[in-house]
Chain A
């Protein structure tokens, strides 16, 4: 491919015996030794070049460690109150300040992060599982099954999501377990559509025909031959679902339909601080919002990097 930015095309090298063989790092067996590369190896190489995605992965892992390890990392005990203090701005003792009950804001943020991250990860896992199963069945079985499943998917897509979520949580309760199920029930359609489209393409390919000819059954073909070839879009969508679920949970919590006290999530903390807009306690508003922003940003960058790394048409590393 000719570089677009006007970089001069390198002079052709003089043709010699060594040039007849492909260069050693292209991934063929060469005279110098075998350097074959599995698709995973190629994926790892491409992903490692995506610096922003690598940083994001680090940020996310770091966030998970400090939030789930809050008992070790939090500067104060959970719900420890300093009643003589009340709400004061950031200081050396309380990096992010304290809330109106004299609780350390950083400590609260870490414990709230447990719930936000837990919901984000669980919803992504659950909705991906459901979406993959439905999408794979619809795409592979086809015909009436496909029609029926896709009409159900369409139906779920026309429901105003946030409203239905709020309504469902009114009905089923507000603990994080319920929130996870209800969010997953409204998140699976996107993965299902992507997987179905992918399966429709793959099931027509020769290796599937070969597997069938050698006597493989339908479920075996789907699990061993079709789904491994959809891993890219599935992982990318699952990643983005984490971000969407965290935002959805925080929006619901902000409206008062999410987790209920004493449990708290980042969205809930913003909701609690809503009244402090324009007062000297507005800092209570900033930190939970920044936490959501940082997490979602990192997840989106990670998804972007994964998409490029999985894309077989992007340049080999």
Chain B
């Protein structure tokens, strides 16, 4: 097992290095850090001096080396948009994004497992068909549209219908000045709901398929034949094994979420990673964008790795193959 872990970890390092180089090169090619100077009619000599100072005349690989050296030591540069340390900016954004992800993933996992197991045990029942229909709908719903519709019907709408002084659910940011747990939850519901709808649709389908597969296997029949109580068969023999593939998919999806929250965070103005990317891109803030892309790619690689390791730990047959 240890050598397997070691091999997988070692393999991720070149992936993240090459990915970071590509990102670096691409951002460099897209944005010119001296663009602002150009606009403000600064003398050509001053621009040349600035280029020299920023090291833009060096070969690309050398620039990357310098950047990587600083990046690894924790010096991620200064944002051209806010003139603040990029690492502090990303740290703050990451915290807000993590809150959204943790709540949505917890909620989605519980709902998906419950729906998946129920649908598998009562295959072709009315409720199974209902869940199947809903999950198709959930998979086809564009997240941004659902978010806007949710604001319309769960926040602004009720406020108008019942003449409330403020909407029952908030849709801007994660906190307001009043503070408190209730206030926090009222901010959280809509973005978490928007994320959850999309995630549950996929996970519950997956859990249903995996549970159906397991429940029709021979050892389940053996367990039933031995007289093991049904509850125990479903939970201990069935669910425990049916969860293995879901855990892998969950790890992969969570990694992708760190880069995929752009839309949800924009709709609900949550100052997280997605919002940071959006603002930085509009402002042409190359330093933040590079660091952002590398951090997100690192999250995806890390969770891919976690998925592999979790799978091989839960299902030892994988390690041999």
What is A's interface to B at a CB cutoff of 8 Å? 151, 154-155, 157-164, 166-168, 170-171, 243, 247, 250-251, 254-255, 267, 270, 274, 277-278, 282, 285-286, 289, 292-293, 296-297, 300-301
Contact = CB atoms under 8 A, between A and B. Distances in A.
B281 A277 contact: no
A243 B281 contact: no
A270 B148 contact: yes
A294 to B, nearest CB: 8
Range for the number of chain B residues in contact with chain A: 35 or more
B152 interface: yes
B142 A247 contact: yes
A293 B141 contact: yes
A136 to B, nearest CB: 24
A74 to B, nearest CB: 23
A277 B152 contact: yes
Contacts of A293: 137, 140-142, 145
- Residue with the greatest number of chain B CB neighbours at <10 A, chosen from A158, A243, A282: A158
A255 to B, nearest CB: 7
Interface string B147-161: 011011001110010
B24 interface: no
B96 interface: no
Given A160-B260, A162-B260, A254-B142, 10 more contacts: A155-B18, A158-B16, A166-B278, A167-B26, A167-B30, A251-B263, A254-B144, A277-B152, A278-B155, A285-B149
A270 to B, nearest CB: 6
Contacts of A159: 19, 22-23, 293, 297, 300
B203 interface: no
25 contacts: A155-B19, A157-B300, A158-B15, A158-B297, A158-B300, A159-B23, A159-B297, A160-B296, A162-B259, A162-B260, A162-B262, A163-B262, A163-B293, A167-B27, A167-B289, A171-B29, A171-B30, A243-B140, A251-B263, A254-B144, A270-B144, A296-B140, A297-B140, A300-B140, A301-B136
A82 B2 CA distance: 72
B151 A297 contact: no
Given A154-B15, A158-B297, A163-B296, A270 B259 contact: no
Contacts of A170: 30, 281
B281 A166 contact: yes
Given A292-B145, A300-B136, A301-B136, A278 B151 contact: yes
B145 A270 contact: yes
A157 to B, nearest CB: 8
Closest 7 CB pairs of A and B: A160-B259, A278-B156, A289-B145, A296-B140, A297-B140, A171-B30, A160-B296
A161 B297 CA distance: 10
A166 B260 CA distance: 12
B140 A251 contact: no
B33 to A, nearest CB: 15
B110 to A, nearest CB: 25
